[in-house]
Amino acid sequence: MLHGLTTNAVGANVTLAWDRNSEPNISGYKVHYGSVNHPYPSFIDAGNASTQVINNLQEGVTYYFAVTAYDVEGEESDFSGEISYTVPLRGISAVGDGSFRVRFQGVPGLTYRIEYTESLTTPNWKSLGISEAGDQGLFEILDRPVAGSPMRFYRSVHPAR
């Protein structure tokens, strides 16, 4: 029944779509979801719609989705096939105090080195830091350049050397 999703990286939202159930007494659908698959910790009643936007999903987290139909008496169908989606990280973002947050999806437990250079024409890569990706593979490090520093370009190196 659940056949696809579209994403909107701004605001970490996904839009799910599914085929309507052909039974005449169906009065609505529930979208079940969470960062763990069945049993799903959350659901949204989509009413009689065949699409639903799920808002405020956390970057770097994998979510699992399934849909059920319910009839006029409130009886719910079995779950549709499950789909999963990992919300992408936004990469580099300004923190507001002049520093930058460098984020990416890595492999859980692996160690990475983040390097920066101020020129891609004649790169001189310098280490910003070394750290291990978290349980879900998230890697994040802050860069606090001196005020007035030139633009910086970043790369990740694995294994950290």
Walk along the chain (161 residues) and give the pLDDT tens digit of each residue.
Answer: 555 554 444 447 889 999 998 888 999 999 999 998 888 999 999 999 999 999 888 877 889 999 999 999 999 999 999 998 888 766 777 777 778 888 877 788 888 888 888 888 888 999 988 888 888 777 888 888 887 788 888 888 876 55
Q: Which of 86, 112, 142 is the last residue of a domain?
A: 86
Same domain, 7 and 78: yes
Residue pair 111/158 in contact by the 8 Å Cβ criterion? yes
Same domain, 8 and 82: yes
pTM value surpassing 0.75: no
**Alpha-carbon distances, residue 80 vs 5, 27, 66, 117 (angstroms):** 14, 16, 5, 48
Give how many domains the chain has, as a whole number. 2
Same domain, 96 and 131: yes
Largest CA distance in the chain: 69
β-bridge mates for residue 1, sequence order: none
Same domain, 7 and 59: yes
Same domain, 26 and 79: yes
Residue pair 113/139 in contact by the 8 Å Cβ criterion? no
CATH number at residue 27: 2.60.40.10
Same domain, 104 and 43: no
Identity of residue 13: N
Instruction: Give me the torsion for CA of 73, 77, 80, 84, rounded to 10°.
Output: 70
β-bridge mates for residue 68, sequence order: 30
Same domain, 127 and 59: no
Return the exposure string of 101-119: e unless at least 16 CB atoms fall within 10 Å of the residue's CB, then b: ebbbbbeeeebbbbbbbee
CATH number at residue 151: 2.60.40
Phi and psi at residue 143, to the nearest 5°: -110, 125
Q: Which of 86, 104, 129 is the last residue of a domain?
A: 86
Same domain, 6 and 80: yes
Q: What range defines the domain where residue 20 resides?
A: 2-86
Residues 104, 139: Cα–Cα separation, whole Å: 5
- DSSP H helices in the chain: none
Give the chain's length.
Answer: 161
Identity of residue 141: I
Same domain, 98 and 150: yes
